[in-house]
């Protein structure tokens, strides 16, 4: 193959060759904690990063390695590290870059768990966050302080689905020599490739559309390999690292590894020593999911657009937010970045308010009432009383979350069955 394979082909093949010893075509699950060294010298080389290879599954595993290599190709990055959850991917990303006394500038419209992590957990470790309204990129620049270490956004804000002007925010990050971190869970590389729009680090919760069937928890971080860590303000990359026999990550790595200093430090410092590793069984589930990701995400988007347009016309519905709707405040920006569809989640409010929303959810039959998105099955949730209930009413408002908001993750069922279920549940409100 002279030409590099297309995206759909990479979803199925990237990172994997048939097993050379056993000839198995499917990805083998390596259920092992540890790997036998060839020699004392090889063991020392592996620990010294002079050779990259298998040591212990907390640090890496061949099954998980295929998943990491495949996501790297799909995102157009340089290296990826898979971990036990999307949440762990976020936390380990932050502490790979920032420490006590440092600061983050983040969009305010975040996944509930991420907001809590930034707002209520990181401050106990001396890392503070300024939350800004994502719809005006200038807000990010205004919030930058001398101790700011990264800029953070989601590809579709959770739960109001606002889409950021990535190019504008990336330009600000670049100007201030800050890494631009994008949580791209809601779009997946099918709809949006964050690295093409200036992201230096991309995070995906594998739990959602990539897994695609609501059967496993996992997360992954992709290093674009395009950030220069030699600026002394990134202390963890410039001082001799006690965690790794005095290595200075921005300076001492052999040339081919220098661009992936972030991914290497992520794996060998927080993952190795704090231990949020992914099970190879779960990695296998995500590889299975990736094979059909393109087909599924396109159908999720198609079904969701139909639901959004249908809700917009429904007499019991007060408002609908979906970036694919022409009237949506985020539609213009979303159309610039999301070329293959607008994703699988739609949010709306019923005219009868919070009580009506609860009645609606209790009346659903085909939809499952649960806290997840990205399943083949249609799902519904009332975030204000569940996923975002740790936030104050003020914080909920700032994150674009009115009390009546209902979130739907539209599945792959026949659209007529989806609409019929929504119709009978709306009738009950």
Ligand X SMILES: *Cc1c(COP(=O)(O)O)cnc(C)c1O
Which helix or strand (DSSP H or E) is residue 368 part of? strand 368-369
Query: What is the nearest approach in angstroms of ligand X to the Cβ of residue 371?
Result: 9
Beta strands in 186-256 (DSSP E): 201-205, 219-223
> In the complex with ligand X, which residue's Cβ is closer, 219 or 383?
219
Q: Burial of 33 by CB count in 10 Å (0-12 exposed, 13-18 middle, 19+ buried)?
A: exposed
Task: List beta partners, residue 129.
Answer: 104
**Closest distance to ligand X from the beta carbon of 217 (Å):** 5
Of the pair 11, 221, the CB lying nearest ligand X is at 221
DSSP state of 251: T
Q: Are 186 and 297 in contact (CB under 8 A)?
A: no
For the CB of residue 158, give the shortest distance to ligand X in the complex, in Å: 5
3-state secondary structure of 307: helix
Nearer to ligand X, 183 or 404 (CB): 183
Cα four-point dihedral sign 17, 21, 23, 24: negative
Residue nearer to ligand X on the CB measure, 207 or 268: 207
DSSP state of 133: -
Q: CB of residue 194 vs ligand X: minimum separation in angstroms?
A: 13
Report the nearest approach of ligand X to the CB of residue 146 (Å): 28
Nearest-approach distance from CB 215 to ligand X, in angstroms: 12
> Residue 32 in 3-state DSSP?
coil
Torsion-angle region of residue 14: left (phi > 0), alpha (psi -120 to 50) or beta? beta
User: Which residue is listed with tokens 């998980």?
Assistant: 64
CB nearer to ligand X: pick between 163 and 261: 163
| Nearest to ligand X of 57, 409 (CB atom) | 409
Sign of the Cα torsion 47, 263, 213, 12 reads negative
Least Å distance, CB 418 to ligand X, is: 21
What is the spatial distance between Cα 155 and Cα 139, in angstroms, rounded to a whole number?
Answer: 17
Residue 163 beta carbon to ligand X: minimum distance, rounded to whole angstroms: 13
Q: In this complex, which beta carbon is closest to ligand X, that of residue 114 or of residue 236? A: 114
Task: Provide the token pair at 291.
Answer: 């094979």
d(CA 131, CA 133): 7
* Residue in the structure block whose two tokens are 């996992």: 218
> Distance between CA 329 and CA 255 in Å, rounded?
46
Nearer to ligand X, 42 or 372 (CB): 372
Smallest distance from the beta carbon of 108 to ligand X, in angstroms? Answer: 14
Point out which residues bind ligand X (CB under 6 A): 85-87, 111, 113-114, 154, 158, 183, 185-186, 205, 207-208, 217, 219, 373
Nearest residue relative to ligand X (C-beta) = 86
Query: Cα 266 to chain center, whole Å?
Result: 16
Q: Name the percent of the chain in helix, strand, coil, to the closest 5.
A: 40, 15, 45
Question: Looking at beta carbons only, is 16 or 129 nearer to ligand X?
Answer: 129
């Amino acid at each position: 193959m002279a030409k590099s394979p297309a995206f759909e082909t990479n979803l199925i093949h990237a990172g994997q060759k048939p097993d050379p010893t056993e000839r198995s075509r499917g990805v083998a699950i390596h259920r092992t904690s540890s790997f036998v060294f060839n020699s004392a010298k090889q063991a020392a080389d592996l620990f010294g990063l002079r050779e990259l290879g298998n040591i212990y599954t907390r640090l890496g595993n061949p099954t998980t390695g295929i998943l990491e290599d495949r996501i790297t190709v799909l995102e157009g990055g340089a290296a990826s590290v898979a971990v036990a959850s999307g949440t762990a991917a976020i936390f380990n990303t932050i502490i790979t870059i920032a420490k006590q006394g440092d600061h983050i500038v983040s969009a305010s419209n975040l996944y509930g768990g991420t907001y809590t992590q930034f707002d209520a957990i990181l401050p106990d470790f001396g890392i503070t966050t300024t939350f800004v309204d994502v719809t005006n990129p200038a807000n990010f620049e205004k919030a930058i302080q001398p101790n700011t270490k990264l800029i953070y956004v989601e590809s579709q804000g959770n739960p109001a689905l606002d889409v950021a002007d990535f190019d504008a925010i990336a330009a600000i990050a670049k100007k201030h020599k800050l890494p631009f971190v994008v949580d791209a869970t809601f779009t997946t590389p099918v709809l949006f490739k964050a690295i093409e729009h200036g992201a230096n680090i991309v995070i995906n919760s594998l739990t959602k559309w990539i897994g695609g069937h609501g059967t496993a928890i996992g997360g992954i971080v992709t290093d674009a390999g395009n950030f220069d860590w030699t600026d002394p303000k990134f202390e963890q990359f410039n001082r001799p690292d006690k965690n790794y026999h005095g290595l200075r990550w921005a300076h001492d790595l052999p040339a081919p590894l220098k661009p992936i200093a972030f991914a290497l430090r992520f794996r060998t410092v927080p993952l190795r020593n704090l231990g949020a590793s992914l099970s190879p069984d779960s990695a296998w589930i995500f590889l299975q999911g990736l094979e059909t990701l393109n087909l599924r995400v396109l159908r999720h988007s198609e079904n969701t657009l139909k639901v959004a347009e249908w809700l917009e016309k429904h007499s019991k519905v007060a408002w609908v937010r979906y970036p694919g709707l022409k009237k949506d405040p985020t539609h213009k920006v979303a159309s610039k970045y999301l070329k293959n569809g607008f994703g699988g989640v739609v949010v709306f409010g019923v005219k009868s308010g919070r009580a009506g929303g609860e009645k609606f959810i209790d009346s659903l039959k085909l939809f499952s009432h649960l806290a997840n998105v990205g399943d083949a099955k249609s799902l519904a949730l009332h975030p204000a009383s569940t996923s975002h209930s740790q936030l104050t009413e003020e914080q909920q408002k700032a994150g674009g979350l009115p009390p009546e908001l209902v979130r739907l993750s539209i599945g792959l069922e026949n659209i007529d069955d989806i609409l019929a279920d929504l119709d009978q549940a709306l009738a009950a409100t």
